[in-house]
Amino acid sequence: MADTDVELHVEFRGVSKSYDGQTLVVRDLDLDVRKGELFTLLGPSGSGKTTSLMMLAGFEAPTAGDILIDGSSVRETPPRKRGIGVVFQNYALFPHMTVGRNLSFPLEIRGVSEERQAEKVRRALEVVRLEGLQNRRPDELSGGQQQRVAIARALVSEPRLVLMDEPLGALDRRLREEMQLEIRRIQHDLGVTVVYVTHDQQEAMAMSSRVAVFHRGRIQQVADPETLYEEPEREFVARFIGDNNILRGQVTAVSGGTCVAETPGGPVKAVPVRPFRPGEPTALAIRPERVVLSSRRGLANEFEARIEEVLFIGDHLRMRLDLCGNRNFIVKIPNTVGHGAVLKGDRVRLGWAQMDCRALPDERAAV
């Protein structure tokens, strides 16, 4: 997975982890993180993303394999000597200490002089835009300010690698969005490498240079956010990243970079993500916003269906139909004429382009 044209900061090589000697929570992990990128480990609870981060931090030891930082193995290196800053979801601030003391304390432990401590604390607070708050205690700060202090503490020793484990999980939506922009700004301004863990797809898409999607201890795909959204390689990725309609079918024809699959509602033309043979099962993925109503453009895939439900979301309408064997086929249309544009019970003609439909390996058939 290494790229000879980029400088690698972190490397996982065949890393596995088991807590009981039998069940692997991380399986044969090979992963490269480039210097200066914000790299996100994304997946549902129990997928192995946080365990991978804890092994990188040194708080957990791999059962097998090795982890390298700047080309050197850290398997025998204790956490305090890895040169890493860590930010946790619960902030882990000392409540009885002031903001300034929370930041200077880890420097004091490392033997940094008081003069240097003061300078480093000042710079760290400046980076997170909390100048002048060094004498306040954590309980005198808002949730967003406390999170900024936690980030400042991770940065105060000027590490080149920062790990963040669900750092925005305790914040409300508006504050989360503000902090996403702040973390991205800080990472860009300082040029540090950030390895970020989250289960929130939108958060990962908004912040990351690249994303590794985890499922059951394995990486399903590594790519930039746009590629993950537009070109998922696996059914799990298509389902987990945003909304996707999945149609089950069997490949009947393959020609160049296209294929045709027979579904309960008729044939569907799609772009295969890998070579298929006629007779193979496939999962066809179509984004709800790529489906067009009242199609008159001669699209490759056109069908008629009855609207089973209409939800008014505000800026768009969300319709549920029974189509090609999927009883929960979703269509999103912009709210340009109001809620009465379509109604439950209406029969509509709809369609989508072949390039917007991806033929993926049918993971349900493979079980």
pLDDT tens track for 265-323:
999 999 999 999 999 999 999 999 999 987 667 899 999 999 999 988 888 889 999 99
pLDDT at position 366 over 60: no
| Comparison of pLDDT for 147 and 267, the residue scoring more | 267
Predicted model pTM: 0.90
| pLDDT at residue 340 in the model | 64
Domain 8-235 classification at class level: alpha beta
Per-domain boundaries in the chain: 8-235, 243-361
Q: Considering only CA atoms, give the Rg of the chain.
A: 24
| pLDDT at residue 322 in the model | 94
| pLDDT at residue 2 in the model | 47
Tokens of 24: 């692997």
Which of 205-214, 328-337, 338-347 is least confident? 338-347
Q: Three-state SS string across the chain, please?
A: CCCCCCCEEEEEEEEEEECCCCCEEEEEEEEEEECCCEEEEECCCCCCHHHHHHHHHCCCCCCEEEEEECCEECCCCCHHHCCEEEECCCCCCCCCCCHHHHHHHHHHHCCCCHHHHHHHHHHHHHHCCCCCCCCCCHHHCCHHHHHHHHHHHHHCCCCCEEEEECCCCCCCHHHHHHHHHHHHHHHHHHCCEEEEEECCHHHHHHHCCEEEEEECCEEEEEECHHHHHHCCCCHHHHHHCCCCEEEEEEEEEEECCEEEEEECCEEEEEEECCCCCCCCEEEEEECHHHCEECCCCCCCEEEEEEEEEEEECCCEEEEEEEECCEEEEEEEEECCCCHHHCCCCCEEEEEECHHHEEEEECHHHHC
Average pLDDT of the segment spanning 358-365: 88
| pLDDT at residue 317 in the model | 86
What is the CATH code of the structural domain delimited by 243-361? 2.40.50.100
Long-range pairs of 107-113 with CB within 8 A, sequence gap ≥ 24: 107/156, 107/157, 110/157
pLDDT tens track for 96-139:
999 999 999 989 888 889 999 999 999 999 999 999 899 999 99
Average pLDDT of the segment spanning 67-92: 91
Average pLDDT of the segment spanning 157-178: 88
Average pLDDT, rounded, for the chain? 91
pLDDT band at 200 (very low <50, low <70, confident <90, very high): very high
| Comparison of pLDDT for 248 and 169, the residue scoring more | 248
